[in-house]
């Protein structure tokens, strides 16, 4: 059995046409206000945390000074509750004058000066989800132009207070209107989330042609249950969702909540690992001013990020679901490399899971393996049984190089950081040292 890497890649190339704005050839990364800061508009009593220009300037400072930007986290994204309740005298949206005294254009300049990009939020209905002015059909052109005039780089277009007929017209129309401004503005569509996320209601071919990314399931909340429900939905529907993703067009399972209050460190690694497997946008929603170093290390893990950002842009799949509640996930990567995640849904104790790359249908050969969260490396033959110890609600994540031919010199290689793999090991399961 062989990894179907090349087959999948050529199928994608033949069938998908992405929105032609040149943006998001790899999944976007950045910070998004919603999950952590919601619609806190009480700047009198909670000035540090309310939705105001100060919050976004603080986050831009953190992204640019704490090592995030260099890793690709460049979007600073506003969500709902930024707008004034009324349009200006020319019918344009305007920011709340008290909370955004400098206006959005000035905030965009602040963000751009730090090598970052600014995202804004709108809604296809008469109102946004929190009751601010929406952008219904007759306001699409003027609002797209306003966002462009403000030098905004991305739009999240929500769907509250709109019906199906309006959405069918509005989402493509906004895509055209953004294009017509001449400014490349990445486009996030909440449309499929309002249609149940699945065909026949949702047409993923069309979405890929008009949006750079799309939310197809409910909002994430700050809990492990919420993370698990998203993982369940995405991988239960992987046959529909995997082919929909490609460079410039991504399924968006919603924000990373690593660094908030709901996840343990193991669960945080699990979210990061599975979001990388899903080729998901990596928008963190947390307080970058107070994040723990543990959470920061997980979000700044270079190998997990490089897996997420793989240029082939093939979304990964769940390939094993054991009765023991261990699951295995695989994402094919460029250069014939791949990523594997061993995920435990158990809640009792670390589980020792035994398998081999051969059983997971990897091509015959030997593989160099790097553990994503410990950076320990091993060399492993496809036929050799191994054991990974997976913490409850946690993961073990591997990056696997392309298979090399079975070559005795590689099996007994001289790199002293790698333990030689002996052919006798074929007979016995070897516990890997990164347990």
Ligand X SMILES: *[C@@H]1O[C@H](CO)[C@@H](O)[C@H](O)[C@H]1NC(C)=O
**Closest to ligand X by CB, 206 or 232:** 206
- Write the burial class of residue 35 (CB in 10 Å: 0-12 exposed, 13-18 middle, 19+ buried): buried
Q: Are strands 430-431 and 213-215 parallel, antiparallel or unpaired?
A: unpaired
- The whole-angstrom separation of Cα 77 and Cα 107 is 11
**Closest to ligand X by CB, 18 or 230:** 18
**Closest to ligand X by CB, 364 or 418:** 364
Residue 57 beta carbon to ligand X: minimum distance, rounded to whole angstroms: 27
Q: Which of these ranges, 78-86, 178-186, 253-261, 302-310, lies near ligand X under the rule CB under 6 A?
A: 178-186
Tokens (6 digits) for 191? 């449309």
Residue 59 beta carbon to ligand X: minimum distance, rounded to whole angstroms: 26
Is residue 402 at the binding interface for ligand X, with CB under 6 A as the rule? yes
214: part of which helix (H) or strand (E)? strand 213-215
Using CB under 6 A, which of 45, 89, 97, 182 touches ligand X? 182
Q: Which residues, including other chains, have CB under 8 Å from residue 47's CB and lie 6 or more apart?
A: 54
**Cβ 341 vs Cβ 328: under 8 Å:** yes
Catalytic annotation on 219? yes
Residue 328 beta carbon to ligand X: minimum distance, rounded to whole angstroms: 7
Is residue 264 at the binding interface for ligand X, with CB under 6 A as the rule? no
Cα 283 → chain centroid: 6
Tokens (6 digits) for 184? 């490349």
Using CB under 6 A, which of 21, 145, 221, 383 touches ligand X? 21
Using CB under 6 A, which of 113, 206, 322, 415 touches ligand X? 206
Q: How far is CA 143 from CA 188, 215, 288, in A?
A: 15, 21, 30
CA atoms within 13 A on the CB side of 415: 11
Q: Which of these ranges, 91-99, 198-206, 295-303, 418-426, lies near ligand X under the rule CB under 6 A?
A: 198-206
State the catalytic residue, choosing from 79, 123, 151, 158.
158
Enzyme catalytic residues = 158, 219
Q: Which residues bind ligand X (CB under 6 A)?
A: 1, 20-21, 163-166, 179, 182-184, 203, 205-206, 319-320, 335-336, 360-361, 402
């Amino acid at each position: 059995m062989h990894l179907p890497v090349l087959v999948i890649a050529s199928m994608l190339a033949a069938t998908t046409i992405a929105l032609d704005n040149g943006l998001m050839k790899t999944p976007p990364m950045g910070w998004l206000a919603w999950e952590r800061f919601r619609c806190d508009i009480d700047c009198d009593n909670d000035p540090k945390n309310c939705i105001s220009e100060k919050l976004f300037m603080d986050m831009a400072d953190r992204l640019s000074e704490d090592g995030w930007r260099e890793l690709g986290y460049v979007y600073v994204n506003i969500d709902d509750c930024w707008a004034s309740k009324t349009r200006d005298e020319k019918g344009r949206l305007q920011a709340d004058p008290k909370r955004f005294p400098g206006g959005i254009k000035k905030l965009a300049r602040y963000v751009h000066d730090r090598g970052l990009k600014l995202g804004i939020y709108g809604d296809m209905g008469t109102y946004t989800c929190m009751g601010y002015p929406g952008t219904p059909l007759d306001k699409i052109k003027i609002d797209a132009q306003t966002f462009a005039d403000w030098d905004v780089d991305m739009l999240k277009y929500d769907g509250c207070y709109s019906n199906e007929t309006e959405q069918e017209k509005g989402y493509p129309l906004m895509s055209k209107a953004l294009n017509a401004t001449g400014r490349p503005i990445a486009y996030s569509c909440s449309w499929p989330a309002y249609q149940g996320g699945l065909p026949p209601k949702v047409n993923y071919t069309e979405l890929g042609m008009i949006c750079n990314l799309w939310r197809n399931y409910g909002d994430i909340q700050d809990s492990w249950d919420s993370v698990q429900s998203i993982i369940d939905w995405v991988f239960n529907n992987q046959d529909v969702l995997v082919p929909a993703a490609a460079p410039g067009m991504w399924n968006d399972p919603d924000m990373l909540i690593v660094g908030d209050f709901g996840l343990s460190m193991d669960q945080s690694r699990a979210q990061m690992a599975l979001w990388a497997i899903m080729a998901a946008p990596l928008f963190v929603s947390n307080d970058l001013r107070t994040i723990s170093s543990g959470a920061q290390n997980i979000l700044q893990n270079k190998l997990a990020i490089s897996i997420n950002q793989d240029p082939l842009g093939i979304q990964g799949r769940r390939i094993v679901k054991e009765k023991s509640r261990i699951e295995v996930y695989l994402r094919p990567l460029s250069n014939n490399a791949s990523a594997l995640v061993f995920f435990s849904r158990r809640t009792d104790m670390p589980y020792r899971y035994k398998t081999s790359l051969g059983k997971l249908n990897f091509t015959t050969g030997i593989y160099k393996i790097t553990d994503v969260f410990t950076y320990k490396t091993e060399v492993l033959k496809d036929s050799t049984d191994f054991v990974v110890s997976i913490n409850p609600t946690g993961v073990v994540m591997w990056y696997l190089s392309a298979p090399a031919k079975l070559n005795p010199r590689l099996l007994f290689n001289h790199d002293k950081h790698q333990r030689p793999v002996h052919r006798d090991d074929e007979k016995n399961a070897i516990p890997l040292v990164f347990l």
